Structure 1
Amino acid sequence: MTGTRMTGMPDHHPLRRTAVAFARHLSLAAVLLLTVGCMTVPDRDGITSFRQGAATANQQSQSTFADINTFLRQQQIDRASQLPTLNESEFFSPLASEDVAKWNRAFGLIDAYAASLETLLDPARSSDTETALAELGEKIGTIEGGRLPAGVAGGFAQLGGLLVQMRAEKEALAAIRKADPAIQSVFDTMMTAIGEDRDNGVRAMVATSWGDVLGAIQVEFLTAGGTAAKRDVATRYVGTLDQRDAQDASLASLRRSIGLLAAAHRELAAGDPPSARRMLDEVQAEYAAYRQRVDALRQQDGQSQGSKP
Structure 2
Amino acid sequence: MPYPPAGATPARTAPSPARGRRSWPLVLLLTVLAGCTATPDREEIPQFRQGAATANQQTAQAFSDINAFLRQQQIERAMGLPTLTEGEFLTVLGDEDVAKWSRAFAVIDAYAASLEKLLDPQRRDDAQQELVKLGETIGALDGRQLPAGVAGGFATLGGLLLQIKGERDAMRAIRTANPGIQATFSTMMDAIGADQNSGVRSVVRNTWQTMLAQQSVDFLRAPDKDTKRAVVQQYVTTMDQRDAQDASLAALRRSLGLLASAHAELAAGRNDGAQGLIDLVQREYATYRDQVDAIRKQREAAASGQQGAAP
Q: Fold conserved (TM > 0.5)?
A: yes
Displacement of 1:106 in angstroms is 0.6
1:54 corresponds in structure 2 to: 52
For 2:303 and 2:43, how far apart are their aligned partners in 1?
46
Displacement of 1:77 in angstroms is 0.9
Displacement of 1:270 in angstroms is 0.4
Residues 1:240 and 1:253: Cα distance change in structure 2 (over 3 Å)? same
For 1:190 and 1:181, how far apart are their aligned partners in 2?
14
2:161 corresponds in structure 1 to: 163
Q: TM-score, normalised by structure 2?
A: 0.82
2:108 is aligned with 1:110: yes
Displacement of 1:285 in angstroms is 4.8
AA in 2 matched with 1:164: L
Q: Does the Cα contact within 8 Å between 1:106 and 1:149 map onto a contact in 2?
A: yes
Q: Does the Cα contact within 8 Å between 2:230 and 2:306 map onto a contact in 1?
A: no
2:195 is aligned with 1:197: yes
Structure showing greater relative contact order (alpha-carbon pairs closer than 8 Å, 6 or more residues apart)? 2
Displacement of 1:125 in angstroms is 2.2
Displacement of 1:195 in angstroms is 0.7
Q: Give the stretch that moved more between structures: 235-244 or 39-48.
A: 39-48
AA in 1 matched with 2:223: G
2:148 corresponds in structure 1 to: 150
Give the structure with higher Rg (CA). Answer: 1
1:182 corresponds in structure 2 to: 180
2:252 is aligned with 1:254: yes
Displacement of 1:113 in angstroms is 0.8
Residues 1:48 and 1:226: Cα distance change in structure 2 (over 3 Å)? same
> 5+ unaligned residues in a row in structure 1: which ranges?
1-37
For 1:46 and 1:283, how far apart are their aligned partners in 2?
20
For 1:297 and 1:43, how far apart are their aligned partners in 2?
45
Q: Does the Cα contact within 8 Å between 2:131 and 2:161 map onto a contact in 1?
A: yes
AA in 2 matched with 1:115: A
Match among 211, 214, 219 for residue 213 of structure 1 = 211
Residues 1:180 and 1:281: Cα distance change in structure 2 (over 3 Å)? farther
Q: Give the stretch that moved more between structures: 117-126 or 226-235.
A: 117-126
Displacement of 1:292 in angstroms is 3.2
For 1:113 and 1:128, how far apart are their aligned partners in 2?
13
Residues 1:95 and 1:101: Cα distance change in structure 2 (over 3 Å)? same
Q: TM-score, normalised by structure 1?
A: 0.83
For 1:224 and 1:106, how far apart are their aligned partners in 2?
47
Report the structure, 1 or 2, having the larger helix content: 1
Displacement of 1:161 in angstroms is 1.1
Displacement of 1:282 in angstroms is 3.8
1:240 corresponds in structure 2 to: 238
Q: 1:122-161 maps to which residues of 2 (within 5 A)?
A: 122-161=120-159
Q: Does the Cα contact within 8 Å between 1:113 and 1:133 map onto a contact in 2?
A: yes
Report percent identity of matched pairs: 58
For 1:231 and 1:45, how far apart are their aligned partners in 2?
62
Match among 211, 225, 228 for residue 227 of structure 1 = 225
1:100 corresponds in structure 2 to: 98
Residues 1:46 and 1:150: Cα distance change in structure 2 (over 3 Å)? farther
Displacement of 1:151 in angstroms is 0.3
> 5+ unaligned residues in a row in structure 2: which ranges?
1-35
2:84 corresponds in structure 1 to: 86
Q: Deviations over 1:133-178 (max 9, x none)?
A: 1111112122211010000011101111110121211111101111
Residues 1:279 and 1:123: Cα distance change in structure 2 (over 3 Å)? farther
